[in-house]
Structure formats: C-alpha cells, structure tokens
Amino acid sequence: MSEPGIFEIINTTRSIKYFKQDPVPMDLIRKVLDAGTKAPSGENTQPWEFVVVTNREDKKFIQQLYQKFVKLRFYKRHSSLKNSNTPFAKMLNGVIHLAENLHKVPVHLLVCAHRDWPASIPAEKRIGKAPPPYASIYPCIQNILLASRALGLGATLTTIHHMFEVDMHQRFRIPNQVSIVALIPIGYAKFGFGPVERISANKVTHFEKWGSKNLFKANMNKRRIS
C-alpha cells in the first residue's frame, strides 16, 4: 500500500477522540518525535522536550484530573446538547468521551517547552515566570499530529492539563523552567481519519488589501472566460 501524500495527510488529520486500546510500537513514537524535532523555531532554539507516558497508574492520574476540569468546563453545556446533531455538539461529545476514556489511550505524550521571554517584552516588564515560547513549539506539535496520521496513528492536541499543570509537574518531575504545552493522546483511531471540515480559504483571504475578497473565485472565472 502506498503512503498517503502530504495533502491527503493534511486533509484527513482530524482530532481523534475515539481510540482503540491496541498498543503502539515505540519505534512509531520515535518516528513521530523525530518529525516533531524537525520543526522550525525562533533563532533555532529548539525549545522542546517530551515525556512519553504509557504507565497505567500515571495515565489514570492524568485522566482523573483531566475529567474533573472537563466536567467544570463542558458538562453543563453538554447536557443541553446531548441529543443535538450539530458539529459543535458532536465535537463536545468527542471531548467528553476522550475525558472519560483518556487513561485507556496507549500513549500520553507531554510536549514540553523551555520557558523564554519573547523579545517584545522589555526587561522591566519581565515579572514572574516566562511564558513557554508558543510560536516555536506549535510547529513541532503540528509536525507530531501530521506524522502520527502518516503512520496510521490517531492523535489530538489537548490543553486542559494547563488547569492542573502544578500536579503534572510534581508527578512527572518536570522542572519549573519548563512548561507542558500540550498533552497529546496517541493510539489507533476507532473510526478512522478525516475529512477535515473548515471554513474555505477563499472566505478568509483578502486580495492585496483587507476587504477585497473572492480572489480565488475571480481567478477561476477569468480562466473559464479565456
């Protein structure tokens, strides 16, 4: 079977929230992380470090806290939308399902970043802990999501753990100068991949100046006339 091309991968990398429990070979995780480390970063600082969690008790520890905060944030809205079929309700069903089953997902990947002040914040305003360098870590995260998909693995970018990051730091002995930017559950998808549905690029693209829309449609019409 030939490997999917880059556009097929991009167009089918859904956020997988329903997983099988089949174990994931560590050599695949290694490939995924190799892809993460090929991402660009500001001044090539490569601020990432990873913690790969597969231990049952540690995953249960994460799941219990994760579900507690998903409950606080989403359960009220979810109960009023339970029987609805809108994309938002479906997304919420997935979020709740993942929260209730997170410990069963084979791998919990913690994507960490060394904290660093952005150059735009002057020295006198640098109070407290520096934020993680989001702009430099998110390309790495996206590479991880795409590489997972390319290897037939499902994954989802999650950030709920920021609400209990102190507990995570203690449990996994992560130093204070490092932030856990994303928790990415990785495993085999129960219902397959994509297609990804988004607002079209044509709707959100301006031509030369803000406000002049429909660049792609106009060009397509021109082509048809000639």
Task: Output the smallest distance, CB 120 to ligand FMN, in A.
Answer: 21
**Could you say whether residue 215 binds ligand FMN (CB under 6 A)?**
no
> What is the amino acid identity at position 221?
N
Distances (CA, A) of 132 to 55, 121, 147: 26, 13, 23
Task: Output the smallest distance, CB 5 to ligand FMN, in A.
Answer: 19
Q: What is the residue whose two structure tokens read 């993942």?
A: 98
214 neighbors 202 (Cβ within 8 angstroms)? yes
**Residue 75 CA, distance from chain mean position:** 21
Of 17 and 114, which CB lies nearer to ligand FMN in the complex structure?
Answer: 17
**Could you say whether residue 77 binds ligand FMN (CB under 6 A)?**
no
Task: Output the smallest distance, CB 39 to ligand FMN, in A.
Answer: 16
**Could you say whether residue 17 binds ligand FMN (CB under 6 A)?**
yes
**Could you say whether residue 98 binds ligand FMN (CB under 6 A)?**
yes
**Could you say whether residue 160 binds ligand FMN (CB under 6 A)?**
yes
Round to the nearest angstrom and report the end-to-end CA distance of the chain. Answer: 41
Could you say which of 159, 177, 205, 221 contacts ligand FMN (CB under 6 A)?
A: 159
Spell out a b/e string for 92-128, using b for 16 or more CB atoms within 10 Å of the CB, else e.
bbbbbebbebbbebbbbbbbbbbbbeeeeeeeeeeee
153 neighbors 32 (Cβ within 8 angstroms)? yes
Could you say which of 67, 156, 189, 193 contacts ligand FMN (CB under 6 A)?
A: 156
**Could you say whether residue 108 binds ligand FMN (CB under 6 A)?**
no
**Could you say whether residue 157 binds ligand FMN (CB under 6 A)?**
yes
Stretch that binds ligand FMN, among 2-10, 11-19, 26-34, 41-49 (CB under 6 A): 11-19
Residue 53 corresponds to which tokens in the numbers above? 């969690």
Residues that bind ligand FMN (CB under 6 A): 14-15, 17, 91, 95, 98, 156-160, 196
